């Protein structure tokens, strides 16, 4: 399992390698592994996605490793349609705990809880045989429209850096490496591999890079991942100022820099800039690097330095392996519930309308599909197949067993529909209306930015309409980031869960009925 080898022996291995072997070592093998070298007895390590849960794809990790199959599988993930469900979008993935997403969890401001998250993620990685978890993602949430804002912690670099450092320490103290990403200024999904983030150096240093610097100084992640975008006109994966002058020279970072998946356009330029590991495997990029070294465009000592960093990472990761590791998924689900409860934000509570007294409520009207089909996470490479999911409607029933509960989807209130009269009558007669609102599912993730700040499918208009009929209404929001709330003045209570993970349904009910105080 382990690979006990000294620094001197590692340097000796680099000296023994052929140019082809060095190029292979600094490139991935398939989608998720480093390249083993059987001639020199160099083992591989396995990595996978997950900023808030471990996404272990059976087809991608255990299936064919030829480059054509792997590229097709990668594109399937990037272009996934989460509205078809996790299985439909991602194929067969092993169940793992889906913890609250970054934009939700950072609302807890709880670094000790972040450390527990890292410990739990490490335990699930160990059980799957995963050595590196590709996260946390900590880009500054510059705009709520950003497609991957749900993965990221905050618009504030101090909160971002401290939460990230705690997660990383929890992971790495338990033998699993982190990959701090996406370095840097990956704030848009539209044209994400070609767009340029134009940022003056002072803003870079004080805002966009500060969270990375803080996390690196407090946790020393084993790897840092370069981002897809250009930064001030230069591809981040090929940006010498960013990857060498800032990261290594200014901050003293000695770990490995890897690319985002197919994020390198010019492999020789990326290696010269300080990008050690090209992920995933690309025959064309390997050939490009080989020819560049032979032609003298990439110095041999630069390639050797990257080889040594890869070998040191492999040694560290292999030393962290815990054979026959197991996971207590029930315990992790309880952690997910606790994290959600600490992260849900009470935005408004006039009256106060909340907390509810389950023993005194006669009729509860629950509106919105998310009450029965909870929106717990965003879409993209971070998406996790949950081990179980708490259903808000059932959790409400648990805490108000004597109340008459009704449920209506948004479509039930369509003017002139057969269901409209019944739905409105239930709302009118209710002691409390609980409206579960959400943004468009599947358009809040990788590869696409949100195009507006409204709730999905006419929900904003419906909230205002229902609030005008029954003033005792609480709105519960499942969103990737901020949303417009044109109905706020007429709505006495609002809870923001963001994407609260698989335990959010339980946590919401506990907060609504006063079992837990929102933090």
How far apart, in whole angstroms, are the C-alpha atoms of residue 329 and residue 322? Answer: 18
* Residue that is written with structure tokens 């007294």 in the block: 357
Query: Which pLDDT score, from 0 to 100, does residue 64 have?
Result: 80
Catalytic residue status for 278: no
Beta-bridged to residue 178, according to DSSP, are 133
Kindly calculate the radius of gyration of the chain based on its CA atoms and give it in whole angstroms: 24
What is the pLDDT, as a whole number, of residue 218? 98
Structure tokens at 286: 């390997």
DSSP structure class, residue 241: I
Residue 294 tokens, joined: 């032979």
Report in angstroms the alpha-carbon separations of 255 from 266, 316, 489.
22, 11, 51
Residue 28 structure tokens: 């991935």
CA-to-CA distance for 430 and 453, rounded, in angstroms? 29
Residue 161 is predicted with a pLDDT of 98
Find, among 457, 374, 362, 459, the residue nearest to 401 by Cα.
Answer: 362
Which of these, 301, 329, 313, 312, lies nearest to 385 by C-alpha position?
329
C-alpha 358/C-alpha 380 separation (Å) is 38
Q: Which of 49, 162, 260, 278 is catalytic?
A: 260
- Alpha carbon 92 to chain centroid, angstroms: 19
The pLDDT value given to residue 298 = 98
Name the DSSP class of 277: B
How high is the pLDDT of residue 445?
A: 78
Contact between 352 and 392 under an 8 Å Cβ cutoff? The reply is no
Q: Minimal CA–CA distance to 438: which of 489, 483, 385, 395? A: 483
- Are the C-beta atoms of 225 and 260 separated by less than 8 Å? yes
Cα–Cα dist 104/467, whole Å = 26
Q: Round to the nearest angstrom and report the end-to-end CA distance of the chain.
A: 43
Q: Taking the model in full, what pTM does it have? A: 0.95
pLDDT (0 to 100) of residue 78: 60
How far is the C-alpha of 370 from the C-alpha of 467, rounded, in Å? Answer: 19
Six token digits for residue 1: 């399992």
pLDDT of residue 393: 98
Spell out the residues 6+ positions from residue 6 whose beta carbon is closer than 8 angstroms to its own. none
**Contact (CB, 8 A) for 31 and 55:** no
Contact of 189 with 446, CB cutoff 8 Å: yes
Beta strands per DSSP E along 79-137: 132-134
Main-chain dihedrals φ then ψ at residue 273, nearest 5 degrees = -80, -20
Residues 227, 178 contacting (CB under 8 angstroms)? no
d(C-alpha 254, C-alpha 249), whole Å: 10
User: At how many degrees (to 10) do helices 300-319 and 7-16 cross?
Assistant: 130
**Each residue's pLDDT expressed in tens, for the chain with a length of 519 residues:** 679 999 999 999 999 999 999 999 999 999 999 999 999 999 999 999 998 999 999 999 998 876 666 667 666 666 655 555 555 555 689 999 999 999 999 999 999 999 999 999 999 999 999 999 999 999 999 899 999 999 999 999 999 999 999 999 999 999 999 999 999 999 888 899 999 999 999 999 999 999 999 999 999 999 999 999 999 999 999 999 999 999 999 999 999 999 999 999 999 999 999 999 999 999 999 999 999 999 999 999 999 999 999 999 999 999 999 999 999 999 999 999 999 999 999 999 999 999 999 999 999 999 999 999 999 999 888 899 999 999 999 999 999 999 999 999 999 999 999 999 999 999 999 999 999 999 998 766 788 899 999 999 999 999 999 999 999 999 999 999 999 999 999 999 999 999 999 999 999 999 999 999 997
| Strand order across the beta sheet in which 223-226 lies | 47-49, 132-134, 177-183, 223-226, 256-258
Distance of CA 307 to the CA centre of its chain: 29
> How far apart are the C-alpha atoms of 89 and 85, rounded to whole Å?
6
Is the C-alpha dihedral spanning 87, 89, 91, 93 positive or negative?
Answer: negative
Q: How far apart are CA 61 and CA 30, in angstroms?
A: 8
Question: Are 143 and 483 spatial neighbours (Cβ–Cβ below 8 Å)?
Answer: no
Classify residue 105 by its DSSP letter: H
């Amino acid at each position: 399992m382990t690979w006990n080898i000294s620094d001197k022996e590692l340097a000796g291995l680099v000296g023994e390698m052929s140019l082809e072997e060095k190029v292979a070592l600094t490139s991935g093998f398939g989608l998720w592994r480093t390249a083993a070298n059987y001639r020199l007895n160099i083992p591989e390590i396995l990595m996978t996605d997950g900023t808030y849960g471990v996404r272990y794809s059976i087809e991608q990790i255990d299936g064919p490793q030829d480059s054509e199959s792997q590229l097709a599988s990668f594109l399937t993930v990037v272009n996934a349609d989460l509205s078809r469900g996790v299985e439909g979008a991602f194929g067969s993935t092993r169940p793992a705990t889906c913890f609250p997403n970054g934009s939700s969890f950072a609302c807890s401001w709880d670094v000790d809880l972040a450390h527990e998250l890292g410990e739990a993620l490490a335990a699930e990685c160990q059980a799957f045989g995963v050595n590196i978890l590709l996260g946390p993602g900590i880009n500054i949430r510059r705009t709520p429209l950003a497609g991957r804002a749900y993965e990221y912690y905050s618009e504030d670099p101090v909160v971002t850096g401290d939460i990230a450092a705690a997660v990383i320490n929890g992971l790495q103290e338990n033998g699993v490496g982190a990959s701090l990403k996406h370095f840097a200024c990956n704030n848009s999904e539209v044209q994400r591999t070609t767009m340029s983030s134009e940022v003056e150096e002072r803003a870079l240093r004080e805002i966009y890079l500060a969270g990375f610097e803080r996390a690196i100084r407090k946790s020393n992640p084993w790897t840092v991942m370069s981002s897809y975008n250009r930064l001030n006109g230069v591809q981040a994966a090929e940006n010498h100022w960013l990857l060498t002058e800032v990261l290594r020279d200014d901050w003293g970072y000695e770990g490995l820099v890897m690319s985002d998946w197919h994020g390198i356009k010019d492999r020789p330029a990326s290696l010269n800039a300080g990008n050690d590991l090209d992920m995933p495997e690309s025959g064309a990029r390997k050939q490009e690097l080989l020819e560049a070294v032979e032609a003298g465009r990439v110095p041999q000592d630069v390639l050797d330095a990257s080889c040594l960093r890869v070998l040191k990472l492999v040694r560290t990761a292999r030393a962290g392996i815990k054979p026959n590791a197991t996971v207590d998924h029930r315990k992790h689900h309880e952690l997910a519930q606790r994290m959600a409860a600490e992260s849900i934000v009470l935005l408004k509570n006039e009256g106060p309308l909340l907390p509810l007294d389950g023993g005194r409520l006669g009729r509860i009207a629950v509106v919105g599909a998310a009450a029965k089909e909870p929106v717990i996470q965003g879409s993209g490479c971070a998406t996790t197949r949950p081990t179980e999911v708490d259903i808000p409607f059932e959790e409400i029933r648990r805490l108000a067993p004597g109340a008459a509960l009704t449920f209506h989807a948004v479509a039930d209130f369509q003017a002139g529909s057969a269901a409209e009269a019944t739905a409105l009558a239930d709302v009118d007669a209710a002691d409390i209306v609980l409206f579960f609102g959400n943004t468009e599912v599947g358009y809040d993730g990788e590869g696409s930015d949100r195009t507006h700040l409204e709730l999905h499918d006419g929900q904003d208009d419906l909230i205002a309409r229902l609030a005008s009929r029954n003033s005792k209404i609480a709105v519960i929001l499942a969103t990737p980031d901020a949303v417009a709330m044109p109905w706020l003045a007429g709505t006495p209570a609002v809870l923001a869960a963001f994407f609260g993970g698989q335990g959010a349904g339980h946590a919401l009910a506990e907060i609504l009925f006063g079992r837990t105080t929102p933090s």
